[in-house]
A and B are shown apart, each in its own frame.
Chain A
């Protein structure tokens, strides 16, 4: 299973963390520090796997962002690379050629998408189209709720004038 997902920028800034195994706050920051140190310092042509504390960390760099997933020793590393790519493609489709800034200002969107892709550290959907559809349906629900709320507040605002 995937124990955690990390998105780290080239400057070492954390852009997204998702923990599927319990880690305390302290452990989390230690893990992030340790791994970003190792990953950011690896040369460009090396393999995408790091053996770390009895686990394996699979990472891949997309532009200025490193996507890392920590898996069990017996898991399929190559598949995890595909999962990362899968996620990136969905992000790309959602934001329209995604960049780091999109993920900073809309970090919650990145989380929502990840939640449609992984649950309990396992893949739940292999179709990019399905994920996109579910996300947009939920976004729609939010929009509708917002409009309702603003129309109500307009009515209140007018009434109190």
Chain B
């Protein structure tokens, strides 16, 4: 002990800290020590530095800040003695990392020490450089390190070699400087140098292609010989680990051979013998041997095709897989994932064992096995594997259910042989792990259910049964609520029974019980509650006998703490209460959801781009609406979790979900005051009596705007919705809605039943002549509109030599077909029709406009009429 030093010794400080009973006590001791050390640092006494730094390192390990000691490290490194340097470098590596500026200050000391006469000092400097050097330091000191690779003492050579690996990782440009030096290390006999030399070569090969080529041509044979020598070498106590001579060297040689053989048939050929030898002769009863075998298998699978070797490798993995040691099983699963790419059959043979591993108590093994099983699934084994996995899902740990259910859903979706099976499996997953199922998964399930019309009854009954037992599985409840809302009548009447089902008796009130339970349960989240509310509205129409009870439940939600729920409850209540005549059409069953669109959207390649989605021909048949796709996809947005966070936009989805038509029509009302004609189109869009794509853009934007209005004053909005409606509102939604807007469109009902895409317009009307345009689109050519012009003579005299001329701006192209006649009979008793084809090159951005001139002879006198048509429907 140095007589001049003051303060406690390192040992005493550690004792004092260990003696502390509480964290607070420990902090106090550390604070006092740190204060002492700071004071001593300020005195700048070289005698204590050594000990202070040691103390600081200990304090650092406990997690206390020790930045004030950094400069002490530098001072110790700069001092001449070995003990000071030794602890200084240790502190440097411990207290600093490559990102600290202070580190740059040490570069000079490092450079001096790398040239030091004492080899142990050189070793210290190399070690520090190898562990924490930054890119700048690597650049500055690379020449020194390169020189030291040839140093006389092997212990310096090996350190320099590893230091070089760090340098080339930091600065890959320097790689070529090290190639020759690295190659010379491969000829060494000293194991430490050989190991580090092989490591350096491996690193060079992965970084630099030229180096790889160089080592491949120059060193492959030498490396193989080295590996052979070491494999066949007699017992060497210094390097022996469990009967294998230097497994570390074995592994590094095999790894270097792997990169040399990969992608090169000749090199691969050279190494087959030795690989076969290692694979067959290595003892596999100890970990060291298995480590070598594992590396060997990996090399065999990476190098160019040598089938017999691969059989050997797969057999080793099979043995690994049945090993009792968990570590060995883990690496086997790991390797089989790689093996599956070239020999699926061989891996399939181990399927049963792998499935067992999925059920292992060890989380690491389970995870590996699960990934592997996912890769193993194909059309042939999907039913069996899914059954196994779902059976296990029932008994697995809670924290594993998330991973497991996600994988099952993935498998089921990918390989499902039929819809019934898909729905069955998904229901099982939802029952067991509904809490963990991601949104897109159950959305997809709803889309599939919606598309499987023959399974609606079966599904809703199955869901009803499951939800009674598993009401705590949130997503199960959501899907069930949705289905009961949509197909509640099928549930009650046992419609569409499949042979496999037992009939059940569900009363209407039982079905409502489920929904009520979902909406009143305290742990249902807002999405579930919102869905339940919609379902209730739908059921109020499906189950007229208990609509009073349903109304009561809705009314209770007026007191909900969630603003959105409150508002919807008020609105729905108003619908139930006051608009019985339109309710049934408002809450009609959802049209079939479009699977393709959903999948595209789910894949995220078309984020809600509306214009790509519309189908060209959508028609109205027997009251079954085929709504345009876009709003339907939006419906699925309803489920997004932020529904309450952003009430206004999600409100749109909400209402659209519910009514499909209702919301749009109210917006059309608003739009109508400003743009009567456009309003008609909007309405048509929303009713989707044939909706080509472009119009939907305007629909959605206007829809959003008017939602704001609705939100501001919902009751007024609802009143406006219905007030223009004459008392005799028809039951089919199309005519009903047209009646609402009577007067906006000239002859809607007739056209609507014919199903044109756009409302006809009166293009021109004078005292003697009326011109009407009707529009249609050629499927697949959105830019072109076929216009049929109908000319009607309003005067009491017949027109002769009737000729119609039209002109359009440059962005349009117009083609006129011949007219049906050139004589127009008097008083509307006959009409001429003429077809026009207009191609709009800026379709979606600009609307059609047209000037026209009509010439005819009236009583032998030429008459010329002119007009401009600017009231074309939008989006043509």
Q: Footprint of B on A, CB under 8 Å?
A: 14-20, 22-25, 29, 32, 43, 45-51, 76-79, 81-83, 86, 104-105, 107-108, 111-112, 115, 119-120, 122-130, 134, 137-138, 141-142, 145-146, 149-150, 153, 157
Contacts and interface: CB of A to CB of B under 8 A. Distances in A.
Contact of B238 (A51, A78, A127): A127
A153 B58 contact: no
B162 A77 contact: no
Interface stretch (B31-39, B244-252, B711-719): B244-252
B287 A81 contact: yes
Contacts of B247: 79, 82
Contact of B365 (A47, A76, A146): A47
B54 interface: yes
Given A18-B131, A81-B291, 18 more contacts: A19-B97, A22-B97, A22-B99, A46-B364, A46-B365, A47-B329, A47-B364, A79-B295, A82-B287, A104-B14, A104-B18, A107-B57, A107-B58, A119-B159, A120-B166, A125-B191, A126-B195, A129-B238
Contact of B195 (A43, A51, A124): A124
Nearest to A38: B363
Contacts of A149: 2
Nearest to A142: B83
Contacts of B65: 25
B127 A119 contact: yes
B317 to A, nearest CB: 13
A46 B248 contact: no
B450 to A, nearest CB: 39
Given A130-B192, A153-B4, A29 B165 contact: no
Interface in B1-48: 2-4, 11, 14, 18
10 contacts: A15-B61, A18-B131, A77-B330, A82-B288, A86-B241, A108-B54, A112-B90, A126-B239, A127-B191, A145-B82
B682 to A, nearest CB: 51
A57 B155 CA distance: 29
Interface in B249-271: 249, 251, 255
Most buried by A among B57, B58, B246, B364: B364
Nearest to B98: A22
A119 B195 CA distance: 12
Contacts of B90: 108, 111-112, 115
Interface in B344-403: 361-365, 367
Interface string B304-333: 000000000000000000000011111100
Contacts of B287: 78, 81-82
Contact of A119 (B131, B298, B361): B131
A142 B365 contact: no
Interface string B188-206: 0001100110010000000
B807 to A, nearest CB: 67
A11 B99 CA distance: 32
Interface in B75-95: 81-83, 86-87, 90, 93-94
Place the interface of chain B in its size category: 35 or more
Contacts of A23: 97
Contact of A78 (B169, B239, B331, B361): B331
Given A107-B58, A129-B238, A138-B82, A48 B327 contact: yes
B456 interface: no
B62 interface: yes
B102 to A, nearest CB: 14
A76 B294 contact: yes
Given A47-B362, A119-B127, A14 B61 contact: yes
Nearest to A77: B331
A78 B294 contact: yes
A108 B57 CA distance: 9
A83 B367 contact: no
